[in-house]
């Protein structure tokens, strides 16, 4: 019965699309807007429409695995766990067992929001100066590409915690797609072939990583060739059979600890056995009629998204105009204020005091708003005493799941750099993260309050490194409305911010909201990055205001988003990278 309106809508959509495609652009401009209750055909980008359930992610096979689980009667959490494990097989640059992340859930029953922190922890033997050379400079190779780069992985604990507490299916069922993909193999896509070729140098340095992802002659698997991962299938089977203990104790744990001992790594059997996913209270804030629910510390994401929205709330953004110079100036100046605070105040709340309430207070924003000049960029050096923020990698990944009842999952997880430390644990098929690089390896330099910058994010055993990952769900008039998130290191915050602002303040659909050109400023370096697609006239006006604009460089973020509107699921995968997929039914 429920299929009939969907079939009719599909028919109507395909007829309308066919008409649109056949209509000359000029005629389209002058024709009255074709409106459906859910899609405005005059927008440049249209979402994929689903009726019952939807999974949006960076790769097709894992997204379809999540959809399969929904169709088998699983809930959004079952699908999220299945997708997370499947991405570890099909998307090795960021999908993982050896990394960590954050999962934000909205559960329609009981109207609950839940945040699961499965960020990696520093091994007990980690120490504040472990990445400093004798001359006190940072040893970047040790920090990012050694066995010491890895925090204790959190992904398996986090996904299983979600499944056991909020899922409805057994481990065997949700792990089955991942095991099949690892055991039977899958045809290598354009995107995977490209990523392996691009990172061949790094992956070849570790014989196990080379063996896993390259052919015996060292060349990457070509498009359409089958990549099988029997060691990874074995690890997944340990998890399916024994749950958390299958990874954190027993043979998998022994293999990780043995690899650590081989190469001066710090993770021990005790570190693995001690790892826990933590359920935290998500952050909430308001922007006009919208309620934003996002990631609390040890993410900096939610704090600064809310802080920037507070700074912008009393300006008429729509009147300024989307991506006008006036709007981008205000946005940039707000980003600078927030990122200056980020460098000072954020860290693992289980180790340091993070003044979340003060930073997200609207009265604080009102005071800070006065620091923004209407037509002049304030140099970053005058906003706060400066030092470079910790360099963060862009290679994290996001997937988003929703069903028609308003259950939503936004999950961001990561190995940090693309393929993490590029070191694989022999016999597990698994790459290790280099999340230790997200700590401040070199805290130092007092700010005007006499506090040492970055001290809250200094390394300590058992601590979680500061993250920017920002899985976010926006509610409109109390109803779950828009779920999103992104990779991009420190650019995650500004990506998620602009995506939800595009929908909230500029009324864009989910596809246009995620696709529109973005900017990024993180206080230091004092540089406004602007993606391709922002007009040269606008950039010239921004330069006239004193902004140092770097235009047309790397793209900013890669969102995976779902909007729930009038009972329809509208999904969009960001076209900034190949291979993204919306699996809908």
Contacts to ligand GLY by CB under 6 A? 392-393, 396, 414, 416, 438, 467-469, 489, 492
Locate tokens 């190995």: which residue?
A: 415
Nearer to ligand GLY, 95 or 220 (CB): 95
CB 314 within 8 A of CB 288: no
Q: Least CB distance from residue 465 to ligand GLY, whole Å?
A: 7
Whether the bond into 247 is cis, omega within 30 of 0: no
C-beta closer to ligand GLY: residue 102 or 287: 102
> CB 302 → ligand GLY: shortest distance, Å?
12
Closest separation between CB of residue 310 and ligand GLY, Å?
A: 22
CA–CA gap between residue 296 and residue 411 (Å, rounded): 14
> Residue 114: which residues within 8 A CB-CB, separation 6 or more?
104, 105, 107, 166, 279, 282
Least Å distance between CB 394 and ligand GLY? 8
Alpha helices (H) in 115-214, listed in sequence order: 140-144, 155-166, 171-184, 190-198, 200-204, 207-213
CB of residue 526 to ligand GLY, shortest distance in Å: 21
C-beta of 466 vs 534, nearer to ligand GLY: 466
- Note the Cα 550 to chain centre separation in Å: 24
> Cβ of residue 200: shortest distance to ligand GLY, in angstroms?
22
Question: Among 274, 245, 250, 269, which Cα is nearest to 259's?
Answer: 269
322 vs 456, beta carbon nearer ligand GLY:
456
The minimum distance between CB 390 and ligand GLY, in angstroms, equals: 10
Cβ 577 vs Cβ 191: under 8 Å? yes
Q: Which residue's CB is nearer to ligand GLY, number 93 or number 565?
A: 93
Q: Which stretches of 353-493 are assigned E, i.e. beta strand? A: 396-403, 408-414, 424-425, 430-431, 472-476, 479-484
Contact 335, 378 (CB under 8 A): no
Residues 6+ apart with CB under 8 A from 575: 515
Set 83, 90, 396, 397: catalytic member = 396
- For ligand GLY, the closer of residues 74 and 488 by Cβ is 488
> Coil, strand, or helix at residue 269?
helix
Specify the residue, 469 or 474, whose C-beta has the smaller distance to ligand GLY. Answer: 469
Beta strands in 195-320 (DSSP E): 226-227, 278-280, 283-287, 290-294
396 labelled catalytic: yes
CA distance readout (Å), 113 to 52, 108, 208, 294, 413: 21, 9, 40, 10, 18
**If you count them, how many residues does the chain have?**
585
By annotation, the residues acting in catalysis are 396
């Amino acid at each position: 019965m429920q299929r009939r309106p969907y079939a009719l809508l599909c028919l109507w959509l395909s007829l309308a699309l066919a008409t649109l495609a056949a209509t000359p652009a000029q005629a389209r401009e002058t024709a009255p807007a074709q409106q459906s209750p859910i899609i405005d055909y005059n927008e440049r980008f249209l979402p994929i429409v689903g009726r019952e359930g939807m999974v949006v992610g960076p790769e097709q096979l894992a997204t379809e695995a999540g959809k399969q689980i929904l169709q088998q009667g699983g809930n959004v959490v079952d699908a999220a766990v299945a997708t997370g494990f499947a991405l570890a097989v099909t998307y090795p640059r960021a999908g993982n067992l050896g990394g960590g992340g954050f999962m934000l859930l909205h559960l329609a029953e009981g109207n609950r929001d839940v945040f699961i922190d499965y960020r990696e922890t520093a091994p007990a033997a980690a120490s504040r100066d472990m990445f400093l050379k004798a001359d006190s400079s940072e040893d970047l190779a040790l920090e990012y590409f050694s066995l010491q780069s890895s925090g204790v992985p959190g992904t398996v604990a986090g996904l299983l915690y979600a499944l056991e507490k909020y899922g409805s299916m057994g481990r065997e069922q949700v792990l089955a797609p991942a095991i099949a993909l690892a055991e039977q193999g899958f045809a290598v896509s354009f995107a995977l072939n490209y990523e392996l070729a691009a990172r061949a140098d790094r992956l070849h340095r570790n014989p196990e990583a080379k063996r896993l992802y390259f052919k015996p002659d060292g060349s990457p698997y070509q498009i359409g060739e089958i990549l099988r991962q029997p060691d990874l299938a074995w690890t997944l089977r340990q998890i399916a059979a024994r749950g958390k203990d299958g990874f954190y104790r027993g043979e998998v744990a022994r293999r990780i600890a043995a690899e650590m001992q081989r190469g001066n790594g710090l993770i021990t059997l005790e570190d693995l056995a001690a790892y826990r996913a933590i359920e935290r209270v998500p952050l909430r804030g308001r922007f006009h009629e919208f309620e934003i629910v996002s990631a609390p510390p040890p993410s900096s994401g939610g704090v600064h998204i809310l802080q920037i929205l507070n700074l912008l709330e009393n300006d008429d953004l729509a009147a300024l105009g989307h991506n006008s110079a006036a709007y981008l100036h205000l946005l940039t100046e707000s980003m600078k204020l927030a990122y200056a605070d980020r460098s000072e105040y954020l860290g693992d709340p289980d180790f340091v005091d993070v003044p979340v309430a003060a930073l997200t207070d609207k009265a604080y924003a009102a005071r800070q708003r006065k620091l923004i000049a209407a037509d002049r960029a304030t140099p970053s050096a005058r906003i706060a005493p400066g030092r470079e923020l910790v360099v963060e990698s862009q290679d994290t990944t996001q997937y988003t799941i929703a069903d028609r009842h308003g259950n939503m999952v936004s999950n961001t997880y990561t190995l940090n750099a693309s393929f993490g430390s590029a070191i694989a644990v022999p016999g597990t098929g698994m790459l290790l993260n280099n999340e230790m690089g997200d700590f401040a390896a070199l805290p130092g330099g007092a700010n005007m309050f006499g506090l040492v910058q970055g001290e809250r994010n200094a390394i300590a055993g058992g601590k979680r490194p500061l993250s920017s990952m920002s899985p976010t769900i926006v509610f409109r008039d109390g109803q779950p409305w828009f779920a999103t998130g992104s990779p991009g290191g420190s650019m995650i915050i500004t990506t998620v911010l602009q995506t939800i602002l595009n929908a909230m303040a500029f009324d864009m659909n989910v596809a246009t909201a995620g696709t529109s050109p973005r900017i990024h400023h993180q206080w230091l370096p004092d540089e406004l990055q602007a993606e391709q697609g922002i007009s040269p006239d606008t950039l010239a006006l921004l330069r006239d205001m004193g902004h140092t604009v770097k235009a047309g460089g790397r793209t900013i973020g890669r969102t995976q988003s779902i909007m729930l509107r009038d009972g329809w699921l509208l999904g969009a995968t960001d076209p900034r990278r190949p291979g993204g997929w919306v699996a809908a039914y």
